[in-house]
Amino acid sequence: MRGVHERPAGLTYQPELIDDDEERSLLTALDALDFHDVRMHGQIARRTVRHFGFDYDYGSFQLTETEALPVALHWVRDRCANLAGLAPEALAQALVTRYPPGSVIGWHRDAPTFGPTVVGLSLGSACLLRFQRGSGKDRRVYELELAPRSGYVLTGAARSSWQHSIPPVPQLRYSLTFRTLRGARAGSDSLAG
């Protein structure tokens, strides 16, 4: 990637957020879920998703309340909340993404409908998480390898100023992404407005 290398402020990376046994049992649980297509700009992505807490419509950008996070997955949310310094209930939305080999997520910032903190957990294949902001001589880039079982937190500039993307994953990967909601009073992470 071209540009000046800079680590985004507000990015935290935690290797081994869960252990091997936890990853194995989680993979079994995720494997059994029904996943849904992601249709954006008339295109269907290769990755598939399942939302809990709130469903996100990729066309209208709207959130609607949906099925709660299964109790069997509460411990994962607890772990991710702990990493972010939040109360578990503050992580109101859980997104499970299934990336078949070669699938990607393109450059984006997470929707502003969501709150100031995004926490991710990786399972299965390792992949790269890329960051970019600015253009021309102000372009800044960063690349991080997400190992299986690792967690990351995006807050501050990493959440709101930088874009991120994942280039083709080498093997099957699952991620769990937990998000706060904008305007929600969320433990230590409250945001006015």
Ligand X SMILES: O=C(O)CCC(=O)C(=O)O
22 lies in the binding site for Fe ion (CB under 5 A): no
| 110 lines the binding site for Fe ion (CB under 5 A) | yes
Could you tell me which stretch among 1-9, 53-61, 103-111, 144-152 binds Fe ion (CB under 5 A)? Answer: 103-111
61 touches 111 (CB < 8 A):
yes
Alpha-carbon gap, residue 105 to 45, rounded angstroms = 8
Told to check if 175 binds ligand X by CB under 6 A, we report yes
CA distance 55 to 84: 22
What does the alpha-carbon distance between residue 56 and residue 64 come to, in Å, rounded to a whole number?
A: 7
Chosen residue from 164, 178, 181, 186 binding ligand X by CB under 6 A: 164
Closer Cβ to ligand X, 90 or 164, answer by number? 164
Q: Which residue is nearest to Fe ion (CB)?
A: 110
The number of residues that bind ligand X (CB under 6 A) is 9
Residues 58-97 contacting ligand X, CB under 6 A: 95, 97
Q: Is 22 in the site for ligand X (CB under 6 A)?
A: no
Q: Which string of x and - marks every residue 168-187 that binds Fe ion (by CB under 5 A)?
A: --------------------
Q: Which of 103, 132, 177, 180 binds ligand X (CB under 6 A)?
A: 177
Q: Rounded to an integer, what distance in angstroms lies between the CA atom of residue 177 and that of residue 97?
A: 8
Residues 6 or more apart from 19 whose CB is under 8 A from it? 149
Q: What is the DSSP string of 17-57?
A: SS-HHHHHHHHHHHHTS--EEEEETTEEEEEEEEEESEEE-
C-alpha–C-alpha distance, residues 81 and 115, integer Å: 14
Nearest residue to ligand X, using CB? 175
Under the rule (CB under 6 A), what is the footprint of ligand X?
95, 97, 105, 110, 120, 164, 166, 175, 177
Under the rule (CB under 5 A), what is the footprint of Fe ion?
110
